[in-house]
Every structure is written in structure tokens, then in C-alpha cells.
């Protein structure tokens, strides 16, 4: 039944886990988690990306210096032809990819043709010169011839709306060739491509459309897109294939044991392959910026670049000049050259380092989230905050370690949802525990703070569920203390003096009781009622109560010195202690309740306190209390029948723990025990002799009491069946 107290927290934890499981399964969408997942991917990428420069890929840069030397962009095609010639003839590059589209004819020849038919049509020398120079001024033809010298790839772009310009290269896969593996690839309606003559002389073409995630960041790049049922390749893939003259095939890879598959493009070039997701995209394997050498186009044309820099490299021609800069938002920077994204893909394909998300990852994440969610929802509420935090952090460490292992093996596994699940449930339970514990502490303090010492309240508040105020039957030790002659004492003091005296007296006595782990039941004027063994279990409740009663007498001796210095009367207190089973709990009426004890054991403790004055004993305990303390010395005082009880009880005065009592006290206790035995045996002379010996050594009221009884019993002999019990008719 105690487990039901966890039910609200478990249900709330299960609700949180259910929301996250539904998100993992794709049933609900939580944008914050999508952003967190993207951030976790970026963090993993930034922490593990290479910080080296890849010499195999070089970017020929149309930079500001090139524009100053060669003129504004776009350059005439003869300059581009010269650039291609220089790269192939002088530097022997492996392939050239243009991150540029040439959709319009070079304007040089058309302008002259226009002049020949308008302003200069009547000029015979101009027409003759133009006729002879047409082949030299056809810069598009010259550029096309240069493109034919080596593996060159021209860039183009797809559009989602109808309209075309230029001509597309041949598709990498004809319609239906991938047998449905491309069913989710992006489908386009239009394109902007290159002049037919240029595309016909190039080795191939590739689109340079960028793929931005929901937050505008380019983490992946589509390597295949669809147009009119056929599949076309990206600029990076086309350039790499041109460098190796490698055909492209595809493979459907089945994930082991899960019946899932993903598509992998395979290049017949040293076993290079690229894993794609269902949209034909691959993660960009970024290097730390810049991971590639940039050379100025002007320096290439002027042949100022060392041949070792460009020889046998894959060259990408792109622009970084102001006004031409093709900038993208990436995990590395908010302004990142688009041409370098293509370079990263080529480098990653060469190294086979392109990561991918396995087809089973989403299902695995959902299953793990479900198992972890249920497990933590059931377990965390039952653990202490420290143990709950340790378990959660251990799971987080395991999750991070396994995710890192997967990352190093080129798997991109989801992370954010599981992290939020573990940490969210941990924080929920810690917060719940904190507020519940704070509330429970306040309740415990409110319930028991006025009864028990502060250190016990602190201990009780560690597990408030163990304590309540419901009545229960329990073995306790009860203590009553009362000031002797308090009525006459109070008559000699002013009200303020009486109040001050009582406050100091009760505070000092309460401090002693609290020091011995006692619970204050109530103050009744000058009387104190306390008990041991509740609300906290105390296996030493008998010992603590008796030692408290003795220490109250010692504390009163010191307190009286202070009272005398203030002109107040000395106080003398009797303490009665009894042990037994009582009813303890919150008792009272609808108007006032109190945490108290009730039962015959309580009544006897009160009677024992009342008869201390007859024996001159500072502390009197019952026989059950005496029996529970074999390691303490007592002196038996009497066998009495108190008012309201028929059964006689033996009463004792505690002397101290074994080994802590002086020899003289022990000898006197033993001699009194002999006197008491003689008294109960009606051997009056023997008992009287022993009592006189004790009285001569120390005037003690107990000895005088028995001497008076012997005188009375001689005059009024008891019956032969007399058992030595003395009857008290008053309280």
C-alpha cells in the first residue's frame, strides 16, 4: 500500500514519457526537440570534424583580385577557355567542376553581328573583317573546345516551377532504373542549365541546389533529384565521377535483422560508395573552415601557382568576390561558401566518411524511449534524489558513449529525445521530491516540532511517510515530573517573577528531555509529561527516559544556584517513570487535538511521581522499567498498591549505570535490601537495627519512613498472610 503514495509522480512521469515516445515515433511534433536534435548533431560534428586541409580538392576562386585584373563578372568565354586550358595543359588537373551555370551566349560575337546589320551595315571593310574573324570571336565555341580537353562538369539548378533554360546533361539513372528506390527523391518541374554546345562538350553536369533544414542550416545535400521520372546527380558526385571516369550504380542495403533498407550509391572507383536517405540526401562531412586551398583565378591564368598545388587535383571553380559570393548557413558558420560544401562532399566520398542514419534508427529510438520511459517512471520515484540522479547520469553517460561509438562508425543516431527523456524524468522527480519533501518537512515540523527535539524532526523529515499522527498501540516509557510545594512557592512571587521562574525551569527540563530524545507531551503548570519511543522508534527508550529523569535532577541542582542568586526559592522535583504498552497518537476533539499517550501505564507513571515525596526519592520507576535495564543499579523502595489499581507493583529508585556508582552507595543499597527483606518477613528487630545503622551514616527519608512503619506495625500487627504491600489511598 505504501507504493500508492508514488502513484501521482509515476503517472506524471509516464505522461511525460508518453509524449516523448510519440514524438520519437513521429506521431506528434515538438519543434523544440527538433531544434535540440539539430543542435546535438552540430555539436557532434564540430567536436569530431577534421582540422586538416585536403590537398586533393582545390577551389579556383573568382575573387576580388581576379575581378580587378580580368574585369567584372561574367567574364567573356575566351577568358574561361583560357582558364580551362591552363588548368589542363599547365597544371594537369584531374577534373574541373563549375559551380556556375552558363545559360546565356557570350555577348561578344552577337554585339558585332548586331553592328554589322545596323550602324555598320554599309561599311564594306567591317563586314569583310567580321566574316574573316567570326571563328576567332565565337568565344562559346572556343570555351566548348576547351571543355572537351578533359573531364569537366558544368553546374545547373532545378526549380519547383515550370520553365526551362539551356539543356540538361544525360540523367545518371533513366526513369524506373532504380526500381522504386528513388520514390521519395525530390521531383522538379523546371531547370536552368547550360548552352547545348557547352553541355555537349563537357564530360557531364551536376545540379548545385542546396538543401536547408527547417532552421535554414545546410547539414545535408541531395546527391540525386528527379526530373520527368529520371534521376540526375549533384555537382559534387558528377565531378568525382568525371575525375575517375567511373560509372555509377546503386545498391539496396538491408539493415541486419530489422527488415529495413536504405540506398547506397556505388562508384566503380576503388570501392567508393555513398549512403543516401530516402530523399536522396547525404550528410555533408564538413572539415574545419577552411579545409581546402583557395587559389585566385587570376593567379592561375598568370601561372603564378606552383604546379604541385594543382597537379592531379579535383578543381572546383566558384566565386567568393563581394556581390558574387554564394553564401550558405552551415553548422560551421552563418556565412559559408557554397562551393566548399561541394568540396566537402567530394572529400567525404573519397574517404568513405559520409555518415548516414540507419533505416532502423527511428524504430530503435521509439523502442528505447518506451523502455526507458516506463523503467524510469516506475523506478525514479522510489529512489532518493541522490540515487535517482546517479542512475539518470549513468544512463546519460551510457547513451552518450553508445551514440559516440555509433558516430565513429558513421551512424547518425537520434540523441536529443532520449536525453530529454532521461534528464526530464530525473528533473521532474527531483523537483517533485524537493517540493514534496519541503512540504513534508513543514508538515512534520508542524506536527511534531512542538513535541520532539529539532534533531529528531530533521531525522523524521528524511522519510516523512514513516510518521503520522494516527493512534497506534506501542510500548513506550512515560515520565511525569512535578515541583514539590509549588503552590506555596507561587504565593511568594509576583506574577512576572512566577512566569520567569516557570519559563526558565521548564526550558531547562525540556532541554534535558530533548537531549535524551524524549517527546514532550504537555506542560501542566509546573508539571511536565513526556514519553520515549514515539513518534520515532527508539530501541533504547527505557534507558533514555531513566537517564533523562536523573539528569533533570542534576540540572535542577545547577538551576537552583541561579534561582538563589536572583532571590527566588529553590525548587525540588519528583520524577515518576513507567514502561508499558500504551495508545499513542493525535487525540482530542474537533476543536483541539494533541499528540499524546493514554493507558494504565500512563496513570501508573503519574502515581509514581506522586509518591516520590513519601520516600524522599528524586526518581521512582516501575518494575517493568527496572526489568528492562539489567545494566543499571536500582534500590527497591517498596511494594505498593496505588490509588485506582488493585495489583501491587514494585517500585525502584535508579542509582546509576553499572560501573558508575561509588562503593559506599552500593554497600548502603545492599544493606537496605537486607532491611527490606527483614521488614517483609516481619522481623522487626532485625530490620530496625539495619535501618538505624543506615540512618547513622546518612539521614535519608526512606530509612525514617520504614522506622515509622515498624513502630506502627508493632502496635498494629499485620495478618499472618501480609505480603508487605503498602496501600496508598491518595494520588
Range of the domain at 478: 473-656
For residue 381, the 8-state DSSP code is G
Same domain, 718 and 569: no
The C-alpha atoms of residue 437 and residue 460 are separated, in whole angstroms, by 11
Q: Where are the alpha helices (DSSP H) in 449-515?
A: 454-461, 486-491, 495-515
Residues 17 and 84 both lie in one domain: no
Confidence of residue 177 (pLDDT cuts 50, 70, 90): confident
Cell 523506478 -> residue: 379
Rounded to an integer, the average pLDDT of 224-232 is: 92
pLDDT tens by residue, 540-581 = 999 999 999 999 999 999 999 999 999 899 999 999 999 999
Distances (CA, A) of 554 to 294, 508, 510, 558: 94, 11, 13, 7
Write down the pLDDT at residue 603: 92
98-112, 320-334, 687-701: range with lowest mean pLDDT = 98-112
Residue 594 sits in a domain of what CATH number? 3.30.70.1230
Q: Could you tell me the pLDDT band of residue 304, with boundaries at 50, 70 and 90?
A: very high
Spacing of C-alpha 607 from chain mean position: 59
Q: Are residues 603 and 676 in the same domain?
A: no
**Position 177 in a domain:** yes
Residue 261 lies in a domain: no
Residue where a domain terminates, one of 351, 384, 416: 351
Single out the residue in 608, 627, 656 at which a domain terminates: 656
Spatial separation of the C-alpha atoms in residues 523 and 135, rounded to whole Å: 121
405 within a domain of the structure (yes/no): yes
Average pLDDT taken over every residue of the chain = 87
| 214, 176: one domain | yes
Query: CB-based burial of residue 300 (10 Å sphere; 0-12 exposed, 13-18 middle, 19+ buried)?
Result: buried
Domain assignment of residue 347, yes or no: yes
pTM exceeding 0.85: no
**What's the pLDDT band for 131 if we cut at 50, 70, 90?**
low
pLDDT of 37 above 80? yes
How far from the centroid of its chain's Cα atoms is residue 292's Cα? 41
- Determine phi and psi for 436, rounding to 5 degrees: -65, -40
CB 680 within 8 A of CB 687: no
3-class SS at 425? helix
519 bridge partner residues: 531
Q: Is residue 311 part of a domain?
A: yes
Residue 517 grid cell: 530524545
The three cell numbers of residue 243 are: 575525375
Check residue 133 and give its pLDDT.
Answer: 52
Give the 3-state DSSP-derived string for 213-260, with helices as H, strands as E and coil as C: CCCCCCCEEECEEEECCEEEEEHHHHHHHHHHCCCEEEEEEEECCCCE
Residue 265: name the closest of 349, 359, 176 by CA.
Answer: 349
User: Checking DSSP bridges between strand 57-62 and strand 314-319, what pairing results, if any?
Assistant: parallel
Is residue 255 a part of any domain in this protein? no
Span 363-413, pLDDT tens digits: 999 999 999 999 998 998 888 888 889 999 999 999 999 999 999 999 999
Cβ atoms of 128 and 66 within 8 Å: the answer is no
The C-alpha atoms of residue 16 and residue 34 are separated, in whole angstroms, by 17
CA distances for 552 relative to 33, 440, 485, 700, angstroms = 65, 33, 18, 20
In the predicted structure, residue 7 carries a pLDDT above the cut 90: no
**What's the mean pLDDT in 645-664?**
90
Residue 61 near residue 295, CB atoms below 8 Å: yes
Cα–Cα distance for residue pair 492/591, rounded to 1 Å: 36
Reported as type and span, the H/E element at residue 58 is strand 57-62
At residue 129 the predicted structure's pLDDT band, cuts being 50, 70 and 90, is low
Cross-strand pairs, 691: none
Which residue has better confidence, 110 or 60?
60
**Whether 573 and 588 share a structural domain:** yes
Distance CA 378, CA 347 (A): 48
Q: How many domains does the chain have?
A: 4
DSSP 3-state assignment of 398? Answer: helix
Q: Are 586 and 672 contained in the same domain?
A: no
Q: What are phi and psi of 82, to 5 degrees?
A: -65, -35
The whole-number pLDDT of residue 332 equals 93
Statement to judge: residues 727 and 591 lie in one domain: no
Round the CA-based radius of gyration of the chain to a whole number and report it.
50
As a three-state string, the secondary structure of 511-555 is: HHHHHCCCEEEEEECCEEEEEECCCCCCCCHHHHHHHHHHHHHHH
Domain end, chosen from 627, 656, 685, is at: 656
Same domain? 545 vs 582? yes
Whether 468 is covered by a domain: the verdict is: no
Residue 218: name the closest of 84, 326, 359 by CA. 326
User: What DSSP state is assigned to residue 167?
Assistant: B
Torsion (CA) 524, 525, 528, 534 in degrees, nearest 10? 40
Q: Are residues 347 and 370 in the same domain?
A: no
Place of cell 512566577: 498
458 is a domain residue: no
Please tell me which residue, 604 or 449, carries the higher pLDDT value.
604
* Model confidence at 137: pLDDT above 90: no
Angle formed by the axes of helices 701-715 and 600-615, nearest 10°: 90
CB 504 within 8 A of CB 569: no
Residues in the chain: 731
Of 274, 284, 223, 211, the closest CA to residue 45 belongs to 284
- Residue 162 and residue 19 in one domain: no
Say yes or no: 282 and 218 in one domain: yes
**One domain for residues 103 and 214:** yes
Nearest CA among 368, 369, 393, 398 for reference residue 380: 393
Q: pLDDT by residue (tens digit) across 139-159? A: 888 999 999 999 999 999 999
pLDDT of residue 272: 84
- What angle, rounded to 10 degrees, do the helices at 663-680 and 701-715 form? 10
* pLDDT at position 1: 37
- Say yes or no to pLDDT of 60 above 70: yes
DSSP state of 322: T
State the burial class of residue 4 (Cβ atoms within 10 Å of its Cβ: 0-12, 13-18, 19+): exposed
Amino acid at each position: 500500500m505504501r507504493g500508492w503514495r508514488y502513484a501521482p509522480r509515476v503517472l506524471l512521469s509516464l505522461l511525460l514519457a508518453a509524449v516523448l515516445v510519440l514524438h520519437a515515433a513521429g506521431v506528434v511534433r515538438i519543434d523544440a526537440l527538433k531544434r535540440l536534435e539539430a543542435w546535438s548533431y552540430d555539436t557532434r560534428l564540430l567536436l569530431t570534424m577534421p582540422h586538416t586541409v585536403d590537398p586533393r580538392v582545390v577551389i579556383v576562386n573568382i575573387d576580388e583580385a581576379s575581378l580587378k585584373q580580368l574585369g567584372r563578372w561574367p567574364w567573356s568565354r575566351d577568358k574561361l577557355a583560357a582558364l580551362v586550358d591552363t588548368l589542363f595543359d599547365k597544371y594537369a588537373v584531374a577534373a574541373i567542376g563549375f559551380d556556375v551555370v552558363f545559360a546565356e551566349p557570350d555577348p561578344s560575337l552577337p554585339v558585332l553581328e548586331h553592328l554589322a546589320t545596323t550602324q555598320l551595315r554599309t561599311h564594306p571593310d567591317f563586314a569583310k573583317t567580321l566574316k574573316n574573324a567570326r571563328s576567332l570571336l565565337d568565344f562559346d565555341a572556343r570555351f566548348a573546345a576547351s571543355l572537351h580537353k578533359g573531364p569537366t562538369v558544368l553546374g545547373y539548378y532545378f526549380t519547383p516551377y515550370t520553365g526551362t533554360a539551356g539543356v540538361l546533361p544525360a540523367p545518371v539513372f533513366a526513369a524506373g532504373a532504380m526500381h522504386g528506390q528513388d520514390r521519395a527523391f525530390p521531383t522538379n518541374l523546371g531547370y536552368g542549365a547550360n548552352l547545348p554546345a557547352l553541355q555537349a562538350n563537357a564530360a557531364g553536369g551536376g545540379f548545385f541546389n542546396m538543401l536547408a533544414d527547417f532552421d535554414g542550416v545546410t547539414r545535408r545535400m541531395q546527391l540525386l533529384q528527379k526530373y520527368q521520372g529520371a534521376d540526375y546527380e549533384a555537382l559534387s558526385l558528377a565531378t568525382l565521377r568525371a575525375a575517375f571516369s567511373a560509372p555509377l550504380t546503386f545498391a539496396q542495403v538491408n539493415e541486419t535483422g530489422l527488415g529495413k533498407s536504405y540506398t547506397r550509391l556505388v562508384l566503380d572507383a576503388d570501392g567508393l560508395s555513398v549512403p543516401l536517405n530516402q530523399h536522396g540526401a547525404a550528410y555533408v562531412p564538413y572539415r574545419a573552415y577552411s579545409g581546402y586551398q583557395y587559389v585566385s583565378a587570376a593567379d592561375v591564368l598568370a601561372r603564378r601557382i606552383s604546379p604541385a598545388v594543382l597537379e592531379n587535383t579535383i578543381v572546383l571553380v566558384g566565386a567568393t568576390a563581394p556581390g558574387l559570393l554564394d553564401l550558405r548557413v552551415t553548422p560551421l558558420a552563418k556565412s559559408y561558401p557554397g562551393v566548399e560544401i561541394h568540396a566537402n562532399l567530394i572529400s567525404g566520398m573519397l574517404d568513405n566518411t559520409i555518415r548516414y542514419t540507419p533505416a532502423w534508427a527511428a524504430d530503435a529510438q521509439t523502442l528505447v524511449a518506451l523502455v526507458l520511459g516506463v523503467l524510469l517512471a516506475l523506478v525514479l520515484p522510489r529512489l532518493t534524489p541522490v540515487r535517482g540522479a546517479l542512475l539518470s547520469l549513468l544512463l546519460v553517460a551510457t547513451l552518450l558513449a553508445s551514440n559516440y561509438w555509433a558516430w565513429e562508425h558513421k551512424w547518425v543516431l537520434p540523441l536529443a529525445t532520449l536525453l530529454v527523456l532521461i534528464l526530464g524524468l530525473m528533473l521532474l522527480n527531483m523537483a517533485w521530491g524537493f517540493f514534496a519533501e519541503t512540504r513534508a518537512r513543514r508538515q512534520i515540523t508542524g506536527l511534531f516540532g512542538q513535541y520532539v527535539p529539532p534533531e529528531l524532526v530533521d531525522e523524521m523529515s528524511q522519510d516523512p511517510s514513516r510518521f503520522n499522527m494516527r493512534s497506534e498501540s506501542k510500548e513506550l516509557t512515560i515520565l511525569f515530573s512535578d515541583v514539590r510545594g509549588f503552590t506555596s512557592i507561587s504565593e511568594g512571587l509576583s506574577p512576572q517573577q512566577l512566569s520567569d521562574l516557570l519559563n526558565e525551569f521548564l526550558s531547562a527540563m525540556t532541554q534535558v528531555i530533548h537531549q535524551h530524545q524524549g517527546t514532550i507531551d504537555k506542560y501542566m503548570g509546573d508539571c511536565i509529561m513526556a514519553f520515549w519511543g514515539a513518534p520515532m522508534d527508539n530501541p533504547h527508550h527505557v534507558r533514555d527516559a531513566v537517564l533523562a529523569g536523573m539528569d533533570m535532577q542534576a540540572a535542577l541542582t545547577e538551576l537552583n544556584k541561579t534561582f538563589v542568586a536572583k532571590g527566588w526559592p529553590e525548587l525540588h522535583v519528583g520524577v515518576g517513570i513507567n514502561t508499558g504498552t500504551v495508545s499513542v497518537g493525535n487525540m482530542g476533539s474537533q476543536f483541539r487535538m494533541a499528540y499524546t499517550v493514554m493507558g494504565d501505564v500512563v496513570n501508573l507513571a503519574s502515581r509514581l511521581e506522586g509518591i516520590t515525596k513519601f520516600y524522599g526519592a528524586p526518581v521512582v520507576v516501575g518494575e517493568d522499567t527496572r526489568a528492562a535495564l539489567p545494566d543499571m543499579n536500582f534500590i527497591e523502595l517498596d511494594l505498593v498498591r496505588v490509588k485506582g489499581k488493585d495489583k501491587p507493583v514494585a517500585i525502584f529508585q535508579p542509582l546509576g549505570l553499572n560501573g558508575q556508582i561509588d562503593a559506599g552507595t552500593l554497600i548502603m543499597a545492599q544493606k537496605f535490601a537486607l532491611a527490606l527483606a527483614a521488614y517483609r518477613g516481619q522481623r522487626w528487630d532485625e530490620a530496625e537495627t539495619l535501618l538505624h545503622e543506615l540512618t547513622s551514616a546518612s539521614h535519608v527519608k526512606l530509612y525514617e519512613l520504614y522506622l515509622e512503619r515498624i513502630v506502627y506495625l508493632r502496635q498494629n500487627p499485620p495478618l499472618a498472610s501480609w505480603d508487605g504491600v503498602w496501600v496508598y489511598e491518595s494520588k
